[in-house]
Chain A
């Protein structure tokens, strides 16, 4: 559904992304992993049409540059790492703003928009929060509201930048399970992720970036090796693999 071909992203003389090519299909979850500054967020922003790039980004086989801004927004929903969540907006109002690409520039929401927002609220079990201001929600509830806003966009591609930042362990699993549910509904999910164990458990494909280049790509078992993590994160880790998945533990060196 979403595909990049030789994607380059430059900030002046510095290339943040160097020749990224990948293809993500409906019902699939691709995780971009890599150390800080590897270019994960830059790549995701390019996919969302928020950053200028060289190369190609294709949506359903069509060049994004030939599509209008609104057309792209109907195909790709993007959630930044730290979304702005105006404290006084209610959850319902916030989720309704996700309908913007379906509403004419100066128009207002129609019935179909309210229904889509209601579906998104139900899908993320936020019905009873609909009238609550965003400022009164806990971190986990807020992240669900953010997902609901992206879901209300009804775009087939969902891009999430670090969806579990600042959440506790339980909330991380909850949010990732919800995202996985959306993936099973048929969305194409692309996320950046810091936690390698979680990345390996939820994404069926990992792309390891370092200094903008793809240095490893494949399943968790293929990518998350101790030498790979040591070489690209500068981290000393023990990798344990069993039937439940691949686990990456940091180990202190003395």
Chain B
């Protein structure tokens, strides 16, 4: 009797899936509970359940606590989760299609374009960066999309066979150019320097349910597309030729993934500013701890990225309370050593 080899593709796996989900749930609980006003997790649960009609749970919170929880903290936590999950899953996807572990979601000029768009809006339209004005996010979104379209056109112009490398170079070109223009405009209007700077550093201090509602559909659609492509990303890891010889339309697939990742990232960036590091740290941590297969990396990055940014935001708003640290500073400050520890402690090839 011949032994039948175990033939299976490791996916997310029960243990990793449960652990990551638990991490996200814990992060959300911490995000909602911690702040100048402490609200117990039990009260948060009961308060949430009081909105479910048939349960008849009594609202445990007073008016002030209730407003703090549901009007200030909850949208902030929700937005941080959406943005974190989006940046992480987009970073993982870019790393997959370009087969380059250093790619981040800003690779194709999203950050530069969004930064330039926001700067132009702040400087010329005198748009406010706070108080629910839609000019800055809209300008950032438009700038990000425009930059990526130019990058893609530039990368494509060298011919389809060299596109992978060309796109990365075109992205660098675009980022440099937009940064130059953005700096120039900023230097010409030093009175708005503070607003521009604080937008660029990113953060969730002004998050509202409105931001969440605007951002959520993009994040949902984009991450759905990316999660569905998790096996295809594994096929692409064999290289363009082999993926093509396995029947995959490599260029069309790459375009679909770029479009999905870009739309989601642009939506995230437009409501949060530029938050570095998440798109690299989170996917790599998953690779080191779980598996390099995109079947694991993509879905787990989405969950872990969400939890990571919620926790980072908690640190950003509590360390110097009532002052806030820019969240990008915290992601880099926490993320880099954490990543170093994970990297050092990993003995396996993964």
Q: Is the CB of B7 within 8 A of A114?
A: yes
Segment touching A, from B241-249, B274-282, B321-329 = B241-249
Q: Which residues of A contact B242 (CB under 8 A)?
A: 78, 80, 83-84
Q: Which residues of B contact A83 (CB under 8 A)?
A: 238-239, 242
Q: Is the CB of B5 within 8 A of A93?
A: no
Q: Which residues of B contact A86 (CB under 8 A)?
A: 237-238, 292
- Please encode chain A, from 91 to 115, with 1 for each CB lying within 8 Å of some chain B CB and 0 for all others: 0110111101101011111000011
Interface size on A, residues (CB 8 A): 50
Most B CB within 10 A of own CB, among A80, A88, A109: A88
Q: Is the CB of B5 within 8 A of A121?
A: yes
Q: Which residues of B contact A89 (CB under 8 A)?
A: 234, 237, 292-293
- Tell me if A69 counts as interface (CB < 8 A to partner B): yes
Segment touching A, from B149-157, B198-206, B225-233, B264-272 = B225-233
- Tell me if B350 counts as interface (CB < 8 A to partner A): yes
Cα distance, A117 to B237, chains bound together (Å) = 19
- Please encode chain B, from 1 to 26, with 1 for each CB lying within 8 Å of some chain A CB and 0 for all others: 01111111110000000000000000
Q: Is the CB of B229 within 8 A of A84?
A: no
Q: Which residues of A contact B247 (CB under 8 A)?
A: 69-74, 100-101
Interface size on B, residues (CB 8 A): 33
Which residue from chain A places its CB closest to the CB of B237 in the assembled complex?
A: A86
- Please encode chain B, from 208 to 242, with 1 for each CB lying within 8 Å of some chain A CB and 0 for all others: 00000000000000000000110110110111011
Tell me the minimal C-beta distance from A96 to chain B in angstroms.
Answer: 5
Tell me the minimal C-beta distance from A75 to chain B in angstroms.
Answer: 10
- Tell me if A222 counts as interface (CB < 8 A to partner B): no
Q: Is the CB of B9 within 8 A of A105?
A: no
Cα distance, A84 to B2, chains bound together (Å) = 30
Q: Is the CB of A97 within 8 A of B349?
A: no
- Tell me if A131 counts as interface (CB < 8 A to partner B): yes
Tell me the minimal C-beta distance from B44 to chain A in angstroms.
Answer: 37
Q: Is the CB of A130 within 8 A of B7?
A: yes
Cα distance, A128 to B7, chains bound together (Å) = 11
- Tell me if B291 counts as interface (CB < 8 A to partner A): yes
Contact A88 to B3, CB < 8 A, known contacts A49-B245, A97-B238, A106-B232: no
Contact A95 to B7, CB < 8 A, known contacts A83-B242, A100-B247: yes
Residues of A within 8 A of B (CB): 45, 48-50, 69-74, 76-78, 80, 83-84, 86-90, 92-93, 95-98, 100-101, 103, 105-109, 114-115, 117-118, 121-122, 126-128, 130-131, 133, 135-136, 153
Residues of B within 8 A of A (CB): 2-10, 228-229, 231-232, 234-235, 237-239, 241-249, 287, 291-293, 349-350
Known: A84-B237, A86-B237. 7 other contacts (CB 8 A): A50-B245, A84-B242, A93-B8, A100-B235, A100-B246, A103-B231, A135-B349
Q: List 12 A-B contacts (CB under 8 A).
A: A73-B245, A76-B245, A83-B242, A86-B237, A89-B234, A89-B293, A100-B248, A106-B231, A106-B232, A109-B9, A115-B7, A131-B6
